Amino acid sequence: MNTPSTAPWSATVLTLFPEMFPGPLGLSLAGKAMDTGLWSLRTVDIRGFAIGKHNTVDDAPFGGGAGLVMRPDVADAALESVAGAPGPVLYLSPRGPVFDQAMAAELSRGPGVTLLCGRYEGVDQRVLEHRGVREVSLGDFVLSGGELAAMTLLDACLRLLPGVMGAADSLAEESFADGLLEYPHYTRPADWRGLTPPDVLLSGDHAKIKAWRRDAAERITRDRRPDLWERYAAGRATSNLTAENPADRFV
């Protein structure tokens, strides 16, 4: 019988700026979780694998153009130094599929992840292909390097690890957990500058409160993120069709 692993979730980050870590990951819930051994962080300085007397890590791109490209021999040596680290190797890049909550959940269920942070114009494509590195994007914008993207990706994964968040229910009701944006929140004082929360939230009727929150989440998603709403509506229609009695479809 297989015994579940008790090893902490492992994050390995390859970067030219290891001093940026843990940064915000060392604070709040993520920081407490690291202190208690729920996850571990290892940073690898890519400059430790620089070439020649000038400690070169990059060079001009073949074909010309602005900027510099991280050399394949440097990146490969850095990756080789962490070979066998738990989880997939990801390269933060605008060319990859967009990171989302589903990907965060998938990674959090595994043993960990290794993140390669690029700088300048990026990393030589050959080493990415040779090492089978997966490219992942945070969205349709460009950052100066992969470090901030790596922190964001890690934060999204870490908060899903068992024991990091105080209440499991809060994870189930967050934005994207069921394909919708989250409903609005209100707290004391009940009357603030003449503004009050919806009466239903003060009613104590949990069934009505649940229904209001679902309606609000659907409305906000429909109005603000038509792309999410389209996927949610399509999934709901498919689910309803599957739940029907097959004979009813032909009445």
Q: Using one digit for the tens of pLDDT, what is the confidence trace for 153-209?
A: 999 999 999 999 865 555 555 556 688 999 999 999 999 999 999 999 999 999 999
Q: How far is CA 104 from CA 76, 78, 93, 177, 216, in A?
A: 26, 25, 16, 11, 25
Tell me how far apart the alpha carbons of residues 160 and 105 are, in angstroms, rounded to a whole number: 7
- Whole-angstrom distance, CA of residue 14 vs CA of residue 117: 6
Per-residue pLDDT tens digits for 55-79: 999 999 999 998 999 999 999 999 9
Domains within the chain, CATH numbers bracketed: 9-158 (3.40.1280.10), 174-250 (1.10.1270.20)
**Sign of the CA dihedral running 54, 57, 62, 68:** negative
Place of tokens 């680290």: 85
Query: Residue 57, Cβ neighbours under 10 Å: how many?
Result: 21
Q: Would you say residue 4 has pLDDT above 90?
A: no
pLDDT tens column, 110-169: 999 999 999 989 999 999 999 999 999 999 999 999 999 999 999 999 999 999 986 555
Q: Which uninterrupted H or E stretch holds 207?
A: helix 206-224
Rounded Cα distance, 38 and 2, in Å: 21
Beta bridge partner(s), residue 67: none
Pairwise CA distance, residues 9 & 112, whole Å: 5
User: Average per-residue pLDDT in the chain?
Assistant: 90
pLDDT at 1 over 70: no
- Sequence letter at residue 229: W
Cα dihedral sign for 193, 197, 199, 204?
A: negative
Higher-pLDDT residue of 45 and 239 is 45
